[in-house]
Amino acid sequence: MVNVNIVCVGKVKEKYINMGIDEFTKRLSAYTKLKIIELKEDGNDKNRDQSMEKEAGQIIETISKNRGYSILMDIGGKKFSSEEMSKKIEQITVNGNSTINFIIGGSYGVTKEVRSAVDLRMSFSDLTFPHQLMRLILFEQVYRWFSILGNSKYHK
């Protein structure tokens, strides 16, 4: 069974988003060992670069500790269909990776160092989503990818 870490900057404050995340966390337990790693958001509006640097240090330290295949959610990243991404996850695990780290940066984005430290930069859309909502979307998609691999009826 593959380990999945959701590494994210900041906390989810909206109750309805947490309810959705909780639901997909329960569903994912049939497929994977899931861990949510919430990093401290700096949120310094006066110095965004400094905020990104602090958050980058935390992200890089976390993915270094949780060795595995790291995928950054990045608007400039590669786009996949759900089927393509499920095959990518299968390929990652077949190649010997027992841990996959999905990373959602802070509200100001991530540094070049973070982009260089990951194995894959992935985009869900050219649209911009609130970070809390993006976390729920990621949980749903991770569940979808594993349900495709498990031949579940969830993905139609």
pLDDT in tens, 59-115: 999 999 989 999 999 999 999 999 999 999 999 999 999 999 999 999 889 999 999
Q: 154 falls in which pLDDT band (50, 70, 90)?
A: confident
Residue 128 is labelled as binding a ligand: yes
pLDDT of residue 82: 95
Q: The whole model's pTM is what?
A: 0.94
| pLDDT of amino acid 46 | 82
Mean pLDDT of the region 29-36: 96
Tens digits of residue pLDDT in 134-152: 999 999 999 999 999 999 9
Q: Is 116 annotated as a binding residue?
A: no
Q: Which two tokens stand for residue 39?
A: 């990093």
**Which two tokens mark 81?**
């269909």
Known binding residue 125? Answer is: yes
Domains for the chain: give ranges and CATH numbers. 3-149 (3.40.1280.10)
Please tell me the predicted confidence (pLDDT) of residue 53.
94
Mean pLDDT across the chain, nearest whole number? 94
pLDDT at 156 over 70: no
Residue 129, marked binder: yes
Any known ligand binding at 127? yes
* Spatial separation of the C-alpha atoms in residues 121 and 99, rounded to whole Å: 16
Any binding-site annotation on 105?
yes
Identity (one letter) of the amino acid at 113?
Answer: E
